């Protein structure tokens, strides 16, 4: 099943709860719209897709309430029109068991921590900067990125890099 939070007519807020299937933050309009998060922990038991299918941007706003977000599937920016997908991560912890792909969008790191949890995952940052990164299992970085706060390597973590990809640590 797919739960689509269609914000084409107006910005809306995700209820703080567990979502059982794929979730989409969707905008097909010519006006900027937001999918806002509530206070607390929100769990997406499948994929979380941010989709700008109109001429305006859609923003996933987590930097107001700074929730804990758990995603058991993938996070992906998947819009096909001229609008851009934007994710404002806030200062919460984002635990993702699938792949992450920030291609064609903007990831605003805030004070967030990204935890890649699970086996055989890929992370495509599209060159965007991360604040804190924690790895569990095997993660392949598909492209180069900069980490500005903390890298936590847990027992059994394997971090690999696609050809030409680098991780710059700038903890100044």
Calpha distance 130→123 (Å, rounded): 11
62: CB partners within 8 A, 6+ apart: 37, 69, 87, 88, 89, 90, 92, 110, 112
Cα 102–chain centre separation: 7
57 with 83: CB under 8 angstroms?
yes
Of the CA atoms within 13 Å of residue 46, those in its CB half-sphere come to 11
| 103 burial level (CB within 10 Å; 0-12, 13-18, 19+) | middle
Q: What is the pLDDT of residues 14-67, one digit of tens each?
A: 999 999 999 999 999 999 999 999 999 999 999 999 999 999 999 999 999 999
* pLDDT tens digit sequence for 143-162: 999 999 999 988 889 999 99
pLDDT tops 80 at residue 132: yes
Predicted TM-score (pTM) above 0.85: yes
């Amino acid at each position: 099943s797919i739960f689509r939070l269609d914000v084409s007519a107006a910005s809306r807020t995700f209820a703080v709860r567990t979502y059982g299937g794929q979730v989409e933050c969707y905008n097909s309009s010519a006006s900027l719209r937001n999918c806002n998060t509530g206070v607390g922990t929100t769990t997406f038991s499948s994929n979380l897709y941010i989709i700008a299918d109109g001429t305006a941007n859609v923003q996933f706003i987590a930097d107001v309430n700074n929730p804990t977000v758990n995603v058991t599937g993938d996070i992906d920016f998947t819009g096909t029109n001229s609008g851009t997908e934007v994710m404002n991560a806030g200062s919460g912890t984002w635990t993702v068991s699938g792949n992450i792909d920030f291609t064609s969008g903007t990831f605003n790191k805030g004070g967030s921590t990204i935890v890649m949890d699970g086996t055989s995952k890929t992370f495509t940052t599209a060159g965007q900067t991360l604040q804190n990164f924690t790895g569990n299992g095997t993660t392949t970085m598909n492209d180069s990125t900069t980490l500005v706060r903390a890298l936590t390597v847990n027992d059994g973590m394997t971090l690999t890099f696609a050809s030409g990809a680098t991780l710059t640590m700038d903890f100044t």
